[in-house]
């Protein structure tokens, strides 16, 4: 455990918000930066200390932070449904169509999904005709993506991978990944060097806003130590702009009412209303950004 400067602004004084225990009985401090307001786990565990939380049970046993068999076809369909809705809301398919028109060389478009887990988005992009690759550190998902789906996956820490920037991409994605990273700002800086001119960065993450503050310690995304950073909508936008990502496109979604099997009609109707309400008024506790490199 190491007390570190704020990853956004470098400030070193914080206000304590919560203490929360992990599934392994370790206690972590969640604080807010006194300068920029970024909510984060600090002191912070090392990457090696966090890796033990990403064993196979994280992907195969339902918990408040894990999945009910991440490798099942049902969950794959649900994950695919969500990211396709996000792409539609970001006008990605319009960007893609224009990108293909502008591609004078006829070279296949390329994509990289950072923190790709079992590679479902990599597979989706491959099916769309991209030269699609992913990068992931967890053993189980990498093995599944390579052996079961036949995908091209790098098993590495993105910040230590391809330091010569030989790989360049039209599309780079971070689906619910940036909150897991020890150095998110440095990751966004490196991504920019891997993006081709006119290429697009897409990222989604949980949002520390009204719903998170209302739920407090019981907010659904307050999962320690897997989630190390909790950005506000304004805060993440400012980070992107400060790194030279101009005019990001963004929206929020998610009311906190999660889908339930055999849910009552009242719950299903309430979920539809609440999900639409928070999306209309930019109040959701998930957010999605896209930005095109100049």
CA 230/CA 221 separation, integer angstroms? 9
| pTM (predicted TM-score) | 0.93
| pLDDT in the model for residue 56 | 64
**Regions in the chain scoring below 50 on pLDDT:** 62, 65-66
What's the topology of domain 14-293?
Answer: Rossmann fold (3.40.50)
| pLDDT in the model for residue 51 | 85
CA 55/CA 273 separation, integer angstroms? 37
| pLDDT in the model for residue 289 | 98
Please answer whether residues 255 and 278 qualify as being in contact, where contact means their C-beta atoms are separated by less than 8 angstroms.
yes
- Distances in Å between the Cα of 189 and the Cα atoms of 62, 138, 251, 282, 284 are 34, 23, 22, 27, 26
């Amino acid at each position: 455990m190491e007390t570190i400067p704020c990853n956004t602004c470098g400030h070193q004084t914080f206000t304590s918000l919560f203490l929360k225990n992990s599934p392994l009985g370790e206690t972590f401090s969640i604080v807010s930066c006194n300068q920029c307001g970024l909510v984060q786990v600090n002191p912070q565990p090392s990457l090696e200390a966090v890796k033990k939380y990403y064993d196979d049970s994280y992907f195969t046993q339902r918990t408040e932070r894990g999945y009910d068999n991440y490798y099942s076809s049902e969950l794959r369909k649900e994950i695919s449904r969500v990211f396709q809705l996000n792409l539609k809301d970001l006008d990605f398919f319009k960007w893609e169509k224009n990108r293909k028109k502008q591609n004078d060389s006829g070279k296949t478009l390329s994509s990289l999904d950072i923190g790709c887990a079992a590679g479902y988005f990599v597979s989706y992009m491959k099916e769309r005709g991209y030269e699609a690759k992913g990068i992931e550190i967890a053993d189980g998902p990498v093995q599944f993506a390579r052996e079961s789906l036949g995908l091209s996956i790098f098993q590495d820490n993105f910040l230590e991978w391809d330091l010569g920037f030989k790989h360049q991409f039209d599309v780079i994605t971070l689906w619910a990944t940036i909150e897991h990273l020890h150095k998110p700002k440095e990751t966004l800086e490196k991504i920019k060097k891997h993006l081709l001119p006119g290429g697009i960065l897409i990222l989604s993450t949980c949002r520390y806003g009204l719903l998170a503050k209302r739920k407090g310690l019981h907010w659904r995304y307050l999962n320690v130590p897997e989630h190390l950073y909790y950005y506000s909508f304004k805060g993440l936008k400012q980070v992107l702009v400060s790194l030279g990502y101009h005019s990001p496109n963004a929206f929020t979604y998610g009311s906190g009412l999660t889908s339930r099997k055999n849910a009552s009609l009242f719950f299903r109707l309430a979920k539809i209303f609440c999900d639409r309400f928070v999306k209309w008024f930019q109040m959701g506790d998930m957010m999605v950004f896209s930005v095109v490199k100049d």
